[in-house]
């Protein structure tokens, strides 16, 4: 049984709000120094031989030290084509009834579980350039988001490049959304969030949910999002020489890999448009966070502007000299914790 088409009410016209967060802590400078000398050289090496059998899946397995905040509960969820994980941190509202019985399965017909709570939930889509990372690498970040928002979070381990085109990741995100709806969370109470490539998917999944008649989510939160698959805007910006994480060469190489995967995607895998090129007029309110000198700053700024032009409320937060997805360093870098607190504020104000 499919989910009934939801009638959408018109959105009022809004303007994009830009807030700048000044100040760079010693911990933030140390983080930037570290990733510039470890992560960046690795990505540059990959960019010279991207078709080699790099052990991308190993990254998620090696991330086991990144444990969630103490007291966090988690349950495995089996979506139709990928794994997912439901987490709720101390202080967060417990999940709706039926979400926590062992390895939660099924419930994909869109019918809300009986007795399910009508609270807010977050659907999270991890970053990793559509190539790597997963539930383990982002478990700590997701648990902090749960604590800040006071909501359970369903993190989706979606299918990735090079075996699957981006369309499959969008489908997996939609399955995650349907699972939440089926387990007691109306779509209008679900906030979709993600970082980097997951930010791309955040907007793509929200747009598809509206297009397919599933409904309009409560809001979107994108951390250092990639929103434009065309590399030219990023490479033409001064930040392409400043970014602590991504070398210039890697940006163009990723675009080539995406194009190749789209061509080999198989039946039904129509190419996914960049979020900045979509009709955004029925999108929900958005919070976008970016570092002032990172590669995807231009994508974040462009997305906020496109949302504004479409009449959608969008808040763009620019954090001085913070690295790509700096929020993942919460607990170590003060700015990261403040950024996650801002996410919590945004989500709570949607209620």
8 A C-beta contact, residue 194 and residue 225: yes
296 belongs to a structural domain: yes
pTM of the model: 0.90
Give one DSSP letter per residue of 99-126, joined into a string: S-SSSB---TTSPPPTT-----EEEEE-
8 A C-beta contact, residue 200 and residue 227: yes
11 belongs to a structural domain: no
Model confidence band, residue 94 (pLDDT cutoffs 50, 70, 90): confident
**What are the C-alpha distances in Å from 158 to residues 3, 173, 306?**
21, 7, 27
7 belongs to a structural domain: no
Which of 196, 224, 274, 313 does the annotation list as catalytic? 196
267 belongs to a structural domain: yes
Q: How confident is the prediction for the chain on average, in pLDDT?
A: 88
Q: What percent of the chain has pLDDT over 70?
A: 88
pLDDT number for residue 316: 98
**Residues belonging to the chain:** 351
Q: Residue 275's domain spans which residues?
A: 19-94+117-350
85 belongs to a structural domain: yes
9 belongs to a structural domain: no
Q: For the CA atoms of the chain, what is the radius of gyration?
A: 19
Per-residue pLDDT tens for 125-139? 999 999 999 999 999
Q: Domain of 57: which CATH number?
A: 3.40.50.1820
Per-residue pLDDT tens for 286-332? 999 999 999 999 999 999 999 999 999 999 999 999 999 999 999 99
146 belongs to a structural domain: yes
Q: Which two tokens stand for residue 326?
A: 């700096």
89 belongs to a structural domain: yes
Q: Which helix (H) or strand (E) holds 303?
A: helix 297-309
Q: How many domains does the chain have?
A: 1
Per-residue pLDDT tens for 167-183? 999 999 999 999 999 99
Q: Which helix (H) or strand (E) holds 315?
A: strand 314-319
* DSSP conformational letter for 14: -
Does residue 15 have an active-site annotation? no
Residue 205 backbone dihedrals phi, psi, to 5 degrees:
-70, -40
Pairing type for strands 83-88 and 73-78 reads antiparallel
């Amino acid at each position: 049984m499919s989910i009934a088409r939801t009638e959408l009410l018109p959105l009022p016209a809004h303007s994009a709000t830009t807030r700048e967060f000044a100040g760079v802590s010693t911990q933030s400078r140390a983080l930037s120094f570290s990733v510039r000398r470890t992560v960046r050289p690795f990505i540059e090496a990959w960019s010279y031989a991207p078709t080699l059998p790099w052990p991308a899946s190993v990254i998620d397995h090696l991330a086991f030290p990144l444990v969630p905040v103490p007291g966090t509960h988690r349950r495995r969820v089996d979506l139709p084509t990928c794994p997912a994980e439901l987490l709720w941190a101390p202080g967060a509202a417990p999940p709706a009834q039926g979400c926590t019985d062992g390895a939660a399965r099924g419930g994909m017909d869109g019918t809300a579980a009986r007795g399910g709570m009508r609270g807010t939930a977050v659907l999270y889509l991890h970053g990793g350039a559509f190539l790597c990372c997963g539930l383990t690498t982002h478990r700590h970040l997701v648990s902090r988001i749960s604590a800040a928002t006071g909501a359970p979070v369903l993190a989706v381990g979606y299918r990735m490049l090079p075996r699957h085109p981006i369309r499959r990741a969008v489908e997996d995100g939609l399955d995650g959304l349907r699972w939440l709806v089926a387990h007691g969370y109306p779509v209008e109470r679900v906030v979709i969030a993600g970082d980097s490539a997951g930010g791309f998917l955040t907007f793509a999944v929200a747009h598809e949910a509206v297009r397919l008649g599933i409904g309009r989510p409560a809001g979107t939160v994108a951390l250092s999002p990639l929103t434009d698959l065309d590399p030219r805007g990023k490479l033409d910006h001064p930040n392409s020489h400043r970014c602590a994480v991504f070398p210039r060469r890697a940006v163009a190489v990723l675009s080539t890999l995406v194009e190749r995967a789209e061509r080999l995607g198989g039946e039904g895998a129509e190419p996914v448009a960049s979020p900045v090129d979509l009709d955004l007029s029925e999108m929900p309110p958005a919070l976008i966070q970016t570092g002032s000198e990172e590669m995807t700053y231009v994508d974040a700024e462009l997305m906020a502007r496109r949302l504004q032009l479409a009449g959608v409320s969008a808040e763009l937060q620019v954090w001085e000299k913070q690295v790509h997805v700096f929020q993942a360093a919460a607990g170590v870098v003060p700015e990261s914790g403040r950024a996650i607190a801002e996410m919590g504020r945004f989500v709570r104000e949607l209620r």
